[in-house]
Amino acid sequence: MKVMVAIPAYNEEKNIFRVVNAVKFNNPEVDVVVINDGSRDLTGVEAQRAGAFVIDLPQNLGIGGAVQTGYIYANRKGYDVVIQVDGDGQHDPKDLSRLIDSIEKDEADMVIGSRFAEKTDYESTKMRWLGINFFSKLVSFVCRSDFSDTTSGYRAVNRKVINIFAKYYPRDYPEVETIVYASKRGVRIKEISVDMKKRQGGKSSITPLKSIYYMIKVTCAILLQP
């Protein structure tokens, strides 16, 4: 199968070389594509230095726009599987093969790497855990299926989902909303347990004020989604 790893990145020059290098070391058969989301630092240069193909966006589109750019590229190039990996080093590339394997075995159309499907060493702040738990319960209710980690951006999808996401992908904080969107369109979704690390460098763009906006916006998007 033709497999692509999509890494959206915004001002991740401190992390991106290490992330790309780790993905290529653990999975030399996959193509690594970094979507440089209008970074104001050397993210694109560092990604290329690590051997990734880089799509340079002329301005910052946000996580949703960057990820959809990756899906549009994958759709045009005929990839069978796309795995989304964050550019901050939190996702362990050693789990990539397990995500790919589940897609290849046709166990699901979308496979989400969950921090909470099984007990792991991952630790979260109380506020972050409350948010994760809230959305997992809300999505489980709406989709009538159990989910433990709907905010995880570590996920693999097959050709069917690549085509869906190339046509539509939420712009702001899309991880939760895309699960509901995909589920309502007959996408089979499963979670597998993965290890995740703390951000390896740089600074998260999620502030307390943005967290409040995130909670309200995503909840409305889920409940009002056709």
Q: Which pLDDT score is estimated for 219?
A: 92
* More confident call, 124 vs 104: 104
Q: State the Cα–Cα distance between residues 132 and 106, nearest whole angstrom.
A: 27
Q: Specify the higher pLDDT residue, 197 or 71.
A: 71
Mean pLDDT of 48-72: 97
Where in the sequence is the domain holding 75, given as residue range(s)? 3-224
In whole numbers, what is the pLDDT of the chain averaged over residues? Answer: 91
pTM for the full predicted model: 0.89
Residue bearing the bigger pLDDT, 146 or 121:
146
Q: What is the pLDDT of residue 217?
A: 87
| Average pLDDT, integer, range 5-24 | 97
pLDDT at 208: 62
Query: Is the pLDDT assigned to residue 86 strictly greater than 80?
Result: yes
For the residues 92-104, what does the mean pLDDT come to? Answer: 95
Q: What is the pLDDT of residue 131?
A: 84
Separation of CA 91 from chain center:
9
Q: Report the number of distinct structural domains present in the chain.
A: 1
Residue 81 and residue 157 in contact, taking contact as beta carbons nearer than 8 Å: yes
Confidence of residue 130 (pLDDT cuts 50, 70, 90): confident
- What CATH number does residue 217 fall under? 3.90.550.10
Q: 171 CB contacts (<8 Å, ≥6 apart)?
A: 61, 62, 64, 65
Average pLDDT over residues 44-71: 97
Q: Report helix, strand or coil for 191.
A: strand
Q: Name every residue whose Cβ is closer than 8 Å to that of residue 44 and which is 6 or more positions away in sequence.
A: 34, 36, 54, 56
pLDDT value of position 226 = 77
> In the structure, how many helices (H) and strands (E) does the chain have?
8, 7
Using H for helix, E for strand and C for coil, what is the string for 107-173?
A: CCCEEEEECCCCCCCCCCCHHHHHHHHHHHHHHHHHHCCCCCCCCCCCEEECHHHHHHHHHCCCCCC
Q: Which residue has the higher pLDDT, 218 or 106?
A: 106
pLDDT in tens, 176-194: 999 999 999 999 999 999 9
State yes or no: pLDDT of 54 exceeds 90: yes
How does strand 31-37 pair with strand 53-57?
parallel
